[in-house]
Structure 1
Amino acid sequence: MFDPSLAPPLPGGASAPLRVLSLALEQRDAYTEGHCDRVCRLAFLLGRRFDLDAVRLGHLALAARFHDAGKIGVRDEVLLHPGQLDAPAREDMRMHAVFGERLFLATGREDAADVARLIRHHHEAFDGSGYPDGLAGEAIPLEVRILSVADGYDAMTSARPYRGAMPSKRAMETLAGERGQRIDPEVYRQLQAVLRAGPDI
């Protein structure tokens, strides 16, 4: 099981626009806020496994930390729905990737465009079946492929009001079945290594 306290805090700290965005997300949905924090830390550890340089690691950490910020713009009846969404509601939920891109661009940071691009694509799938642009394989930035695996793992291993947390082993078995489809097989392999390392990271 991944312990988020093992990873360093967000590189570079947080500027005022990011603090505002973080607070807005926390007020909108406390689960999403905690989820984004854990995904940030896990993605950072995965990024180091791929020897990303400091700039790319920073972009990855920021994108992971704010990948679901666009949920601020999703209607309550969709965002807080305690079960499976119907087709129109799923389309509304999918817009959070685009909303998140716009929100991060609005921070005015020098790296806003680079980070916003990663946020936009965090639901692309390795086989091209994802959204919003249907990117596939290596056309999906490596940082996004890392973020996708970290996101999926944390979503499954976190408790929600309508379901309990999935054990780490079961979550990894589920992700194993998605290799080459939703997720990059090599990123999955590196996630195995991160989880095996545990407290020795």
Structure 2
Amino acid sequence: MKDQVIKNIIDTHLNKWVEDELNKLPIEIDPAMAGPVNEDDDDWNTWLPIPSTVTDAEIEDFEKQLGHKLPGDYKTFLKHRHFYELQIGEVSFCSHPVNTWRADLAEKIFEGYPTKYLLDKGYIPFADWSDWGLLCFDTNRNQQDHNYPVVLWDHELADEVEDRYDDFYDMAVKIGKE
């Protein structure tokens, strides 16, 4: 049930992204995700969300690199669709392209802000909040199935976090209604 709710929220917002023709970027798009070519937008390429190819084995390998288990609901998110951009309300999720999703997520976690403020303190960033912070899993407060609370880390108050959501599912449902 929870898995389907998460998938429906993702699909609803990705469909809006495509319907509003916001699925264009000035970068090279992986051929598996490439949309129709628009001759009027020479520098912009259209991408389309596609079913995810992420496997349990890939997630387990990433978790080893990370040093933490990922929440079960977030794994559902990773295994549902590939996309280049997904914004729901104030939340902009990490890019999730078909062949580089892992590198993109690793870059956000390990190379975004210094790990001394985030990962070293047990916070795993997975999305941007507006233009001033990151949403992170708080691994210091482990819950069943590793569905950690989601906290907001403000880059201007690096030593503080603010509780935002009970877990990934709670976040998805609440932002999905915005």
If the TM-score is normalised by the length of the shorter chain, which range does it land in?
A: under 0.3
TM-score, normalised with respect to structure 1: 0.26
Q: Which has the higher contact order (CA 8 A, sep 6+)?
A: 1
TM-score, normalised with respect to structure 2: 0.28
